[in-house]
Chains A and B, each alone.
Chain A
Amino acid sequence: MSALGKVVRAGVGRRRAQTVVMTLTVLLAVTSSVLAASLLVGSQAPFDHAFARQRGAHLTAMFDGTGTTATQLAGTAHLPGVTAAAGPYRAVSLHPTLGGNARDIPVGLNLPVATVVGRPGGAPVDDLDLTAGHWATGPGQIVWDADRTPFRVGDRVTFPDVPGSPTLTVVGLARSVGGSADAWVPPAQVAALTEPGSAPEYQMLYRFAAAGTDAQVSAARASVVAAVPAGSMVSAESYLRAKRAADRAAATFAPFIVALGALGVGMSILIIGIVVGGTVGAATRRIGILKSLGFTPAQVVRAYVAQALIPAAVGTAFGVVLGDLLAVPLLHTEGSAYGTSALAVAPWIDVVVPIATMSVVAATALAPALRAGRLRTVEAIAVGRTPRAGRGRGHERGINLGINRGLHGLLGRLPLPRVVSLGLANPFARPARSATVAAAVALGAVGVTFGVGLAASLTGIDQGLNRESPGQVIVRTLSGREQSRAADPDAVAAALAGQPGTRRYFSTGQAQVGVAGLAGPTTVNAYRGDSSWGSYQMISGSWFTGPGQAVVPTGFLTLTGTHIGDTVTMTNNGHTARVRIVGEALSLSNEGQQILTDAATLSGLGARVLPESVRFDVDLTGGTDPKSYVDSLNAALRPLGALAEPASTGPSGTVIAMDSLAAALTLMLVAVAGLGVLNTVLLDTRDRVHDLGVFKALGMTPRQTIAMVVTSVAGVGLLAGVAGVPVGIALHHIVMPAMGRAAGTRFPAADLAVYHLPVVCALALGGLVIAVAGALLPADWAARARTAETLRTE
């Protein structure tokens, strides 16, 4: 082995602690970079990516099963402009009811009409992603749409309209990016699901050469219509509608993903710089010895860059693997949040991140190696040796020493234990190193502050949105399909009033009205009874207190250009009613085109409340068990045709997804920051090992040694934490409103003002915690170091 090779090998092998720290740092940095970059890439047009991967259908067309033939439809695949087609598949529209399930959902509950298609999973167009279970291959099996399902794998579903009320088992959940159907069965199963006297429809899935705009999709649709018998196309759904909805969801999540992702990548680069630069910088004396032995500056530089690259390469390799593995659940979560299929790590990320990491390592190693290589040999050897004062290596060092001495004097006079004042003064001895620790801790504090605020705000917003179901129990007036009419609301109210455990309740029903200045119908939520206890979370203004007053979501105000205090005119079949806006509520329903008001407001309008939309929200008296209340109430409601069910109170899947993303990235940031501190304190402790020996020879106990080393970064950590918190808060205050804008709403001030004093104080201490946690290991090493050996160290 060449002399250079031996030096490199010895450098990597002998400094085991530093080699391990560097490997770990690079590993974590690469892992978080792969994750952050994947999330960032995933946030860029997630629908488009998923659509391309699934070869999603630009047009999902349904054809009358009697007006056209499979052969005719197969022929449409060869029309000009059609690049790919799948089908024809047999399809039926059915009313499913919930069968046996492992949860607490009542058997027999009616579900919305579902389009069930008989087809294989894999196809040249709309190649479905199976998210759970397996594909339906045999009789009695069905796969349900993963995003529009009350089912879990193993649940049963019954189709009471079909003779024999067949019951199928949900064997899998799948996702069609274009939403081509609600459920899929093997083709042979369709016949058993067809009502007597009816013919199943046909489904065709098309991809077109040009489908970027509504006009292009319409033109392509027209060419298909022209190729089949007139009137045989029953419906056709453009992918653009699903794309717009998904893009909107993506736009809502993008600000926070971008913020956390950018923090992750920035942190990785900073920490690699700190660790590698610090490690090479600390080896200056060894470099001096090598030069005195005849190593050229170029050889020295090569040796130290190689010494940094070896552990970095190991860390990078493991980091990519770990990043790819961790990305699987994280990207799945992100995909769920966007409402698209699970995302995958882009292959180029696994190439670019390692190359970028190794380049950063090489560059950060190069700078101190070059500096050490250029240093005069005698100076390099003198570095770290004592005594060193009085003959400083230049003006800057002289200034640092002066400042340091002044601080020692100042801190020494404070009523603090001497070990604490010695530790507190230490950062000023190496201001550059302290600055890097501060930067690492501050970035960690920014990440934690942002993550905590984000989670708190999202929880608040989610609870605000859950105010749409304020009670513990919901009663729906249309309980079963055999029920031709909705239950009488007055009878339901009477049943509720007579039910022990009922504390209070109100009912809502929806009506469609016109609003002056708005295109299309607007949904009115008409309230009966005292709804003040179940008001939505207000953004501004107050809940309505009587007829003629209305509360609207932000979207309504934006669409109509109105403000609180303004009056809007509702129209219905020539009747008009004026309503004054008294409050702005948090709601994302109906894209914000919604009015919440007392039912009496509609009396002069002649607008009919849709019977099937009427529901009661019920608040129970304290100590009432919702489940037994529901069971008991259902006994009374069943003859009326109404059904009670417990209101869902858990956080939404979206909030869980965002919280878990934020938690994962924040933890990563904290771990990387802690490693940065660990490495810096390790280097510092090594540099000061002789001084530590002197302290110990003078009687410093192991505990005092740990206290001094920990204190040496505690002050910097505390200050950096305090500095990072306002930045994190500012980031939160930028990102949250941006997310709101993308979702088309403002957020209540209470949901944004989540940084209460105790939280801020705790967050400000977060920097201290990161610094102390990072310093504990090297402090322990310093306490254990044998005094006799450290005294010999120069």
Chain B
Amino acid sequence: MAAPLIQIHEVRKEYDDGPPALAGLTLEVRAGEALAVLGPSGSGKSTLLNLVAGLDRPSEGTVTVDGLRVDELSESASARYRRSRIGMIFQFFNLLDDLTVADNVLLPAQLAGASRQQARRRAADLLEFLGIDRFADTFPGRLSGGQRQRVAVARALMNRPALLLADEPTGALDTASGQDVGRLLTELNQDGQTILLVTHDTALADSCATRTIELIDGAIVRDVRAGGDVRAGRNVRAGSDIQAGSAVRSGGDVQAGAGR
């Protein structure tokens, strides 16, 4: 079995005086996994993603990614970590309208100081691989939502990240485009790319995740491996309505127990 790429240990995150966004969460994600994080609004999905991305720090606990203690990084080190080890895609693409598709894709390599020639070659390969090479000199505003998200994926993969983080990647797309992005993520994962996917979309999680967890009130209430086991989280409260539903692939083996 592959070594854990992400190790989250007893992580707690609090904002001001409200209830914790994450309540002592522990989680391991192995290299090559595609983990979908499901949960209602306010369940802590985005907080989890931000902690893994080094965009935020936990109030307690540790976050280790690819052997690096992300929760201990300085702002500069955190930026270098993002640029070298992770790629991010967002619900609203977050492409820079003033830059062409090629320039958007080149940006992470340029920030990392990569050689111009190598970066251009890599960007061209990615655009071709993702089927958007004909839009290289186009500005993002002229593309459809699905095409924009493909550009965002190309940008995220530019520096060959160990981990791809996707925050509601289909949230702003129509059904066909959403399915298209789902297929793309699946293909990437099948090629060995580790993915952490935060979504409301259970269909997307079904289609491309190898493992799905569900968060409620900052705690894992369900952890389902494709073709494997289902473990209820330790913080499952009495009366919670937990259904395996579509998130559990056929043949899932449900186990009660601690979610760690």
Supply 17 A–B pairs (Cβ within 8 Å), ascending by A.
Answer: A386-B94, A387-B92, A388-B97, A390-B141, A390-B142, A405-B139, A408-B99, A409-B100, A417-B113, A697-B53, A697-B55, A698-B155, A699-B111, A700-B111, A701-B76, A788-B56, A791-B55
Residue of A nearest to B172 (CB): A387
Q: Are B92 and A698 in contact, CB atoms less than 8 angstroms apart?
A: no
- Is A702's CB within 8 Å of the partner chain B? yes
Q: Are A404 and B140 in contact, CB atoms less than 8 angstroms apart?
A: no
- Is B107's CB within 8 Å of the partner chain A? yes
Name the distance in Å between A294's Cβ and chain B's nearest Cβ: 27
Chain A positions 386-407 with a Cβ under 8 Å from a chain B Cβ: 386-391, 401, 404-405
Interface bits A414-434 vs B (CB < 8 Å: 1, else 0)? 000111000001000100000
- Is A691's CB within 8 Å of the partner chain B? yes
Given A387-B140, A389-B139, A788 contacting B50 (CB threshold 8 A): yes
Which residues of chain A are near B99, meaning CB under 8 Å? 405, 408, 412
- Is B88's CB within 8 Å of the partner chain A? yes
- Is A703's CB within 8 Å of the partner chain B? yes
A interface residue numbers (CB < 8 A to B): 386-391, 401, 404-405, 408-409, 412, 417-419, 425, 429, 690-691, 693-704, 783-784, 786-788, 791
Q: Are B98 and A788 in contact, CB atoms less than 8 angstroms apart?
A: no
Chain B positions 70-94 with a Cβ under 8 Å from a chain A Cβ: 75-76, 79-84, 88, 90, 92-94
Q: Are A429 and B141 in contact, CB atoms less than 8 angstroms apart?
A: no
Interface bits B214-225 vs A (CB < 8 Å: 1, else 0)? 000000000000
Q: Are A691 and B96 in contact, CB atoms less than 8 angstroms apart?
A: yes
Which residues of chain B are near A697, meaning CB under 8 Å? 53, 55, 82, 88, 94
Known: A697-B88, A786-B55. 11 other contacts (CB 8 A): A387-B97, A387-B140, A389-B98, A417-B113, A690-B94, A694-B96, A696-B79, A697-B55, A697-B82, A698-B82, A699-B108
B75 in complex: contacting residue of A408, A690, A701, A791, CB < 8 Å = A701
Interface bits B42-59 vs A (CB < 8 Å: 1, else 0)? 000000001001011000
- Is B213's CB within 8 Å of the partner chain A? no
Which residues of chain A are near B113, meaning CB under 8 Å? 417
Residue of B nearest to A699 (CB): B83
- Is B127's CB within 8 Å of the partner chain A? no
Q: Are B103 and A702 in contact, CB atoms less than 8 angstroms apart?
A: no
Interface bits B97-124 vs A (CB < 8 Å: 1, else 0)? 1111001000110111100000000000
Given A409-B103, A701-B76, A419 contacting B141 (CB threshold 8 A): no
Interface bits B136-160 vs A (CB < 8 Å: 1, else 0)? 0001111000001000000100010
Name the distance in Å between B190's Cβ and chain A's nearest Cβ: 25
Residue of B nearest to A783 (CB): B75
B79 in complex: contacting residue of A405, A417, A699, A791, CB < 8 Å = A699
Q: Are A791 and B76 in contact, CB atoms less than 8 angstroms apart?
A: no
Q: Are A425 and B94 in contact, CB atoms less than 8 angstroms apart?
A: no
Name the distance in Å between B213's Cβ and chain A's nearest Cβ: 20
- Is B95's CB within 8 Å of the partner chain A? yes
Q: Are B84 and A699 in contact, CB atoms less than 8 angstroms apart?
A: yes
Q: Are A701 and B79 in contact, CB atoms less than 8 angstroms apart?
A: yes
Q: Are B79 and A389 in contact, CB atoms less than 8 angstroms apart?
A: no
CA distance A700 to B107 in the complex (A): 10
Q: Are A412 and B103 in contact, CB atoms less than 8 angstroms apart?
A: yes
CA distance A178 to B79 in the complex (A): 73
B112 in complex: contacting residue of A408, A699, A786, CB < 8 Å = A699
Which residues of chain A are near B53, meaning CB under 8 Å? 697
CA distance A525 to B142 in the complex (A): 85
Name the distance in Å between B212's Cβ and chain A's nearest Cβ: 24
CA distance A388 to B139 in the complex (A): 12
Which residues of chain B are near A405, meaning CB under 8 Å? 98-100, 139
Q: Are B55 and A386 in contact, CB atoms less than 8 angstroms apart?
A: no
Q: What 8 A-B pairs are tightest by C-beta distance, nearest first?
A: A699-B83, A389-B141, A390-B141, A389-B97, A418-B110, A701-B79, A788-B55, A694-B94
Name the distance in Å between A671's Cβ and chain B's nearest Cβ: 31
Q: Are B79 and A408 in contact, CB atoms less than 8 angstroms apart?
A: no
Which residues of chain A are near B94, meaning CB under 8 Å? 386, 690, 693-694, 697, 791
Q: Are A791 and B90 in contact, CB atoms less than 8 angstroms apart?
A: yes
CA distance A696 to B141 in the complex (A): 21
CA distance A394 to B108 in the complex (A): 32
Which residues of chain A are near B83, meaning CB under 8 Å? 698-700
Q: Are B98 and A404 in contact, CB atoms less than 8 angstroms apart?
A: yes
Q: Are A702 and B76 in contact, CB atoms less than 8 angstroms apart?
A: yes
Which residues of chain B are near A787, meaning CB under 8 Å? 55-56
Q: Are B103 and A786 in contact, CB atoms less than 8 angstroms apart?
A: no
CA distance A690 to B94 in the complex (A): 8
Q: Are A408 and B103 in contact, CB atoms less than 8 angstroms apart?
A: yes
Q: Are A429 and B92 in contact, CB atoms less than 8 angstroms apart?
A: no
Given A386-B92, A386-B94, A387-B140, A703 contacting B76 (CB threshold 8 A): yes
Q: Are B80 and A387 in contact, CB atoms less than 8 angstroms apart?
A: no
Which residues of chain B are near A429, meaning CB under 8 Å? 98
Given A418-B107, A694-B96, A700 contacting B90 (CB threshold 8 A): no
Which residues of chain B are near A386, meaning CB under 8 Å? 92, 94, 97
Name the distance in Å between A36's Cβ and chain B's nearest Cβ: 41
Q: Are A704 and B111 in contact, CB atoms less than 8 angstroms apart?
A: yes
Which residues of chain B are near A412, meaning CB under 8 Å? 99, 103
Name the distance in Å between A408's Cβ and chain B's nearest Cβ: 5
Given A387-B140, A703-B76, A698 contacting B108 (CB threshold 8 A): yes
